[in-house]
Structure 1
């Protein structure tokens, strides 16, 4: 390939990498609560905050718009998406639709390695909670990775990259709400037990039972953050 063709390709790759990094940094600050719901995202402020150019920052913010973490405000730029009962209900409805189909496919297609992956992910999460006692929380990097890893392992054998990508995005979109719920979790044993029961039902290849239990599990965040009868 002529050098004149290689140079533009290299620059395009570098630009993509910068925009991906910008999206990741902003996403991390939104999920951690450093950028509050509804807060305005000024390009100049973000350039200084992350030391990334304005163009890749705008591209990174556009990526996050497609994932529902930020919204555009016309010619005025961007702001962090608000949190609300309606938003969590929408996330939960979509996540349930995606995951009950993904779990059905995973149970149909999953092999021994898939089952072992679930048990390994559960074991790692349990051991982390045993080491940290009842102080484990969403927002701790190790716990976040292990918790999401467990839920991803359940669906890993579904055979659909798009279902898994949708699960990952929706899981992250629910993160801000899940952090609220997790503040009240005072028993690591109960937390592990709930995930153990879910894993057992799925490994038993009980499709209707697994789908019902998974639906209830996903709904638990909604029921806690916005209890029925207290929806104002």
Structure 2
């Protein structure tokens, strides 16, 4: 009797392709290779990424839900614009979510959580020491370490949805952080800002940690769009 050959669920290949399309598009958008406002034609994207039209459309739809792409009626899609209003909204949502998440993380966190925060901060510090003051958003290693630190602060909040929302909003703010990072001429100053944030959280003073986190999240908005300046 011939052995039974298991088959991948119907649609699995299409899902994989649409995920790949979404990932490739997301990388090019947040890296600035696809500028804000760029029209995204299906034919051009199929040629650019060598992915079929159907999974490409599905990938585009996924990025609409993440706020990186907007639909333009029957005319297709374009990369979402950047604006002070958009960053203010992202910052508002991040503050609501992360202030609650850090409260829960402090409440639930154990020694392993504390060690993970210190470990991710140490890895980021060592990376910056090796690269000098050339560290920037856009370098894959730095991006991973920076996001890893911020995720570690919230990791024990006990809510998958809070962590998912944090991750998506962190990525939506990426294009704005790239602008802010150009203003950092000192890796030591960058690390010091994150050390202070870690210290407040590890001290388990919820009010102080929430206040410092709020200030930290608003720093991108205040830098990219200084108060009193239109934008």
Shift of 1:12: 1.0
Measure the CA separation in 2 of the matches of 1:62 and 1:115. Answer: 38
Q: TM-score, normalised by structure 2?
A: 0.97
Measure the CA separation in 2 of the matches of 1:48 and 1:87. Answer: 31
* Structure 2 counterparts to residues 163-174 of structure 1, below 5 A: 163-174=162-173
| Unaligned ranges ≥5, structure 2 | 1-5
Provide the rounded CA distance (Å) in 2 between the counterparts of 1:100 and 1:120: 22
Name the SS of the counterpart of 2:155 in structure 1.
Answer: helix
CA distance in 2, matches of 1:166, 1:30: 19
**CA distance in structure 1 between the partners assigned to 2:68 and 2:114 by the alignment:** 33
State the distance in 2 between where 1:231 and 1:159 align.
40
Equivalent residue, structure 1, for 2:91:
92
Deviation at 1:11, TM superposition (A): 3.4
Match of 1:11, SS state, is coil
Tell me the number of residue pairs that the alignment of Structure 1 and Structure 2 aligns.
228
Q: Which residue of structure 2 lines up, in the alignment, with residue 143 of structure 1?
A: 142
Listed as ranges, the matches of 1:51-70 within 5 Å are: 51-70=50-69
| Structure-1 residue corresponding to 2:3 | none
Query: What corresponds to 1:115 in structure 2?
Result: 114
2:87 corresponds to 1:125: no
1:187 maps to 2:186: yes
Q: Which runs of 4+ in 1 moved over 6 A?
A: none
Question: For residues 201 and 84 of structure 2, what CA distance do their matches in structure 1 show?
Answer: 29
User: Superposition RMSD on alpha carbons, in Å?
Assistant: 1.3
- Bigger share in helix: 1
Shift of 1:10: 3.0
- Once the two structures are TM-superposed, the CA of residue 159 in structure 1 deviates from its matched residue by 0.5
Measured after TM superposition, the shift of residue 44 of structure 1 is: 0.3
Structure 1 unaligned spans of 5+: 1-5
